[in-house]
Amino acid sequence: MRNRNRSNVLLVEILIAVLFFMLSATVLVRVFVTARNMTVRSGVEASALAEAQNVAETLYAADDVDAALDAMQFFSSHGSWSKDCGDYTLYVVGSVEPMGAGELWSGEVSAFYKLRNPDAVRMEDEELFSLPCARYKGVA
């Protein structure tokens, strides 16, 4: 009888150790998945920032903003321009104000990160940043 009790205690002890290691493995897997997601997101954010800076500088140097956006393969809809870049989307919104000796185009270049919702098939977008940009064009 005594030998049987020892076997049961040893079995329970091994079972507790296995459960502890399973819990530890679960926590470690979640930590590594979160770290990978953060790495991917920071890479997408760096790419989006570089592209948005290029767009803002191109708009600053352009004589015709609409033609410049069209040349950069942006699509116009309802007064704003958008460009799908894979993991993120760039949006450009701007307006022209007549000034005394010319006109001022002021706008904003925004980047949105595409998040896939694991519970649904639809896509969600999260704003990464917005860059203001302006261009003054004097009348010759």
CA distances from 34 to 27, 37, 88 (A): 11, 5, 19
pLDDT for the residue 122: 54
Residue 83 predicted with pLDDT over 70: yes
Q: Which two tokens stand for residue 23?
A: 């819990």
Q: Any bridge partners for residue 72, and if so which?
A: none
pLDDT for the residue 137: 84
Choice between 92 and 100, residue whose per-residue pLDDT is larger:
92
